[in-house]
Amino acid sequence: MMSSYLPGHSPLHRLPAGAKLLALAGLSLLLLPADSALLLAGALLAVLLAYAALGRRALARLALLRPLGPVLLLMVLLQAWAGDWSRAAVGAGFAVALRILLMVLLADLVTLSTPMQDMMDALERVLRPFERFGVAPRKLALAVALVVRFVPVLLSAWRAREEAWRARSTRRPALALVPGFLAQTLRLADHVADALDARGFGRPADRPSPSDKRTMP
């Protein structure tokens, strides 16, 4: 949803990626038990101030949160309904929604202020001890970078499909768009695998590549 890096030189940008990821993990853990709506609202205000300090382009990203709105509202309603619409239940519902909103915003603060390469380096360091269990830190780190890179690409592919629908129909875009989109996504994955292979990433010297299945005699 919100996943791109915003170039800049703010104090947040200058912090090492590892420190930011640790702080994000720590803050998220601290937020979990917090259930005072007032405290959470205060934290939200602080996070919003951090966005404001980063400038207009950071603030503009908040508009991308809109799709999250109905989901959060549903959570509030569900919590309140489960508690027979008592004051406490409504308060608890707001606390849950605020907590999720805060976590999303905090995570976005890290992505918008950290170049992907730094994030990959930090992740690689964290994963290195697991190498002996067959985990390939470099591949996992690359996978994370690819997710960040291709979220906007897939979003625009989905929007293009919606537009193509709207150009020929007055009804709302339906589930019928999904299979085609999935097929397109799989094709894209094939192309990206080729591009990685063309640049020599993890190319084996003796094993045929996946694309060879087309070419074997």
Partner 1 sequence: MAGGARAQRESGEAGGIALRDVWLDRGDAPLFRGLDLTLGERRIGLVGANGSGKSSLLRLINGLIVPARGEITVAGLDARAHRRDLPGRVGFVFQNVDHQILFPTVREEVAFGLAEQGLPRAEARAGAERLLAAHGCAGWGERAVEELSEGQKQLVCILAAIAPGPPILAMDEPLASLDLATRLSLLARLRALPQQILMASHDLDLLADFDRIVWLEAGAVAGDGPPREVLPRYRAHEMARAATAAGVLP
Binding site for partner 1 (CB under 8 A): 4-7, 115-117, 121, 142, 145-146, 148-149, 152-153, 188, 191-192, 194-201, 203-205, 208-209, 211-212, 214-217
- Measure Cα distances from 195 to 146, 154, 155 in Å: 12, 17, 20
Q: Please provide the DSSP assignment of 128-149 as one string.
A: GGGGGGT--HHHHHHHHHHHHH
Q: Which is nearer to partner 1, 162 or 194 (CB)?
A: 194
Q: What count of other Cβ atoms lies within 10 Å of the Cβ of residue 40?
A: 20
- Measure the CA–CA gap between 153 and 147, rounded to whole angstroms: 10
Among candidate residues 129, 153, 125, the one with its CA nearest the CA of residue 141: 125
Q: Write down how long the chain is.
A: 217
